[in-house]
Amino acid sequence: MDQLKITYFDVDGGRAEPARLALHIGGIAFEDHRFSFSEFAEVRKATPLSQVPTLQVNDVQVTQSGAITRYVGKLSGLYPEDAFQALLCDEIMDGVEDASIKLGVTFGLTGDDLKNARNDLVVSVFPKYLRWLQKQLESHGGEFFAASSLTIADLKVFVFIRGLNSGHLDHVPTNLVETVAPKLNEHMQRIAQIPAIAQHYSKNSAA
């Protein structure tokens, strides 16, 4: 069996989280290498593009979160084999990544710059993505985003919505999702009840 190691910040969220969750659901052993934000300057020196997450597969280091998540999704049986359903899965993955990038550029801002940037996201950007995601969920049956079953697309959305609801994002109201696209909250709650996911967060919160 291949030796797998995911390297990412010590947070229960972000770009590595869908891959972590997929591996837990698939019962696939991996090293969950976490580091503090203060350690990032040193960690990034050993990465291909000075960024994380990375996935080590035996002696090969891979970068790019989307590629990593798709790979472990295939290992875990959470990536559609049907080409069209894979397309639908990828569409959701890439849409959420677009929204995450727009959020990412606000990190590092302070004061009124942060407030104004986040307010623009809340008013103009996030509602567009949230309504689109809710529409996609409904059009694909209302329970999952592709293949009528759990896929990495569901995990990607779950992590994104969980982050918006967390209260950890200054100037992003915790009721935004509930106000704009409540069915995404229902989806998040269903995904959170998957035993491997519930156990993962239970262990981490107890640590």
pLDDT in tens, 23-71: 999 999 999 999 999 999 999 999 999 999 999 999 999 999 999 999 9
Q: What is the pLDDT of residues 117-159, one digit of tens each?
A: 999 999 999 999 999 999 999 999 999 999 999 999 999 999 9
The residue segments making up the domain with residue 60 are 4-77
- Rg over CA atoms, the chain: 17
Measure the CA dihedral 117/120/121/123, to 10°.
150
Angle CA 187–154–3, to nearest 5: 140
> pTM for the whole thing?
0.96
pLDDT of 73 reads 98
pLDDT of 104 reads 95
pLDDT of 30 reads 98
Residue 78 CB contacts under 8 Å (≥ 6 apart), including other chains: 22, 25, 26, 150, 151, 152, 155
Has residue 181 got a pLDDT over 70?
A: yes
Q: What is the mean pLDDT of residues 10-30?
A: 97
Query: Do 188 and 87 belong together in one domain?
Result: yes
pLDDT of 203 reads 80
Q: State the CATH number of the domain containing residue 118.
A: 1.20.1050.10
Looking only at the bridges linking them, the beta strands covering 54-57 and 60-63 are antiparallel
pLDDT of 206 reads 58
pLDDT-derived band at 205 (thresholds 50, 70, 90) equals low
Query: Do 72 and 135 belong together in one domain?
Result: no
pLDDT of 204 reads 76
Query: Do 61 and 156 belong together in one domain?
Result: no
Residue 187 CB contacts under 8 Å (≥ 6 apart), including other chains: 137, 143, 154, 157, 158, 161
Query: Do 72 and 88 belong together in one domain?
Result: no
pLDDT of 1 reads 82
Query: Do 11 and 73 belong together in one domain?
Result: yes
